[in-house]
Amino acid sequence: MSRAKRLFALFLLAIAVVLIFLPRGRNPVDDATIAQSITLYGYADDGALLWEIHARDGRIDGSGQTLSGVAIDFYGQDLSTLSIDGDRLERTEAVSRLSGNVHIQRTDDLLLEADALTWDEAEERLESGPIKLSTADLHVSAMGFAYDLETETASLTGGVEASASLEAEWTIRADRAEERDGVIVFREGVTAESEDGESFRCERLEVDTEAETARLSGDVIGDWPSGHLSAESVQLDGDGMRAAGHAMARLDLEELRTVDDT
């Protein structure tokens, strides 16, 4: 073997040795756990149970989880329950997101539907975009929704519109609204129109569908086929209408006669 060939053979051998002992890249270790029938719990500092999550399956990676087929129960101080279900929960230490056919059901008959919502655990707050909220006698839609888990109060914003069954069917519009314990309060730029031709404008309207009462306040202006009313506050219930605070009314007696004759 010539000197050149020996040198070439030694060169190939050196390359082989380098390749054998060269540190090889390793695939990163995946510490995530894939599991089924998952249950997670959250507790307050005093040990009280705050929430409980059930999921069909999911991936748990440290403090974060991605869960499917999710149901969450939030527990209030009076043992009331707010239950939420959705297709997918992406949970982090900061703000979690639930998406896909989201439904919220409270211990009473409050039901809310949304495409997605966020859950801020530190602030104990739920938020979502466009929603539909309903009780037995009230149906509401709004562009924005927030729920304070501590005070159990729902806030609605952006083009709030509702239909309410009182003594008659009412359509109500407002800039924003709040709901708690089955009573909803509409605020700012409130208008209300009944199927009987009555209409009101005011700054605040409180509707209790269980008691079938409505309380209007703040520069109340009312119109109906047989008259006109202005007052600081007005209450509508099964006994009729009562106005208070600089109340002034104008009645169309001819219209009233026409009504009485029919």
Tell me the pLDDT tens digit for each residue of 137-187: 889 999 999 999 999 899 999 989 999 887 788 999 999 999 888 889 999
pTM of the model: 0.78
pLDDT at 79: 67
Give CA–CA dist 86/54, Å, rounded: 11
pLDDT at 252: 63
CB < 8 Å & 24+ apart, contacts of 236-245: 236/166, 236/167, 237/167, 237/211, 237/212, 237/213, 238/167, 238/212
pLDDT at 251: 72
Tell me the pLDDT tens digit for each residue of 79-94: 678 999 999 999 988 8
Give CA–CA dist 209/247, Å, rounded: 25
pLDDT at 140: 93
pLDDT at 200: 95
The two domains 31-117 and 129-262 share their CATH topology (first three levels equal): yes
Per-domain residue ranges for the chain? 31-117, 129-262
Tell me the pLDDT tens digit for each residue of 183-196: 899 999 999 999 98
pLDDT at 238: 81
Q: What is the token pair recorded at 139?
A: 């149906």
Question: What dotted CATH number matches 31-117?
Answer: 2.60.450.10
Was domain 129-262 assigned CATH 2.60.450.10? yes
Do 200 and 233 form a contact (C-beta atoms < 8 A)? no
53 forms beta bridges with: 40, 72
Neighbour count for residue 112 (Cβ, 10 Å): 24
Which residues in 44-168 belong to E strands, given as ranges? Answer: 49-61, 64-75, 81-91, 95-106, 111-120, 125-128, 131-134, 138-142, 144-148, 153-165
Q: What is the pLDDT along the chain (262 residues), one digit of tens a residue?
A: 555 445 444 444 444 443 444 455 444 445 678 999 999 999 988 888 999 999 999 998 877 899 999 999 999 877 678 999 999 999 988 899 999 999 999 876 778 899 999 999 999 999 999 999 888 788 999 999 999 999 989 999 998 999 988 778 899 999 999 988 888 999 999 999 999 889 999 999 999 878 888 999 999 999 988 889 999 999 988 888 889 998 888 876 555 454 444 4
Q: What is the CA angle 190-191-194, rounded to 5?
A: 145
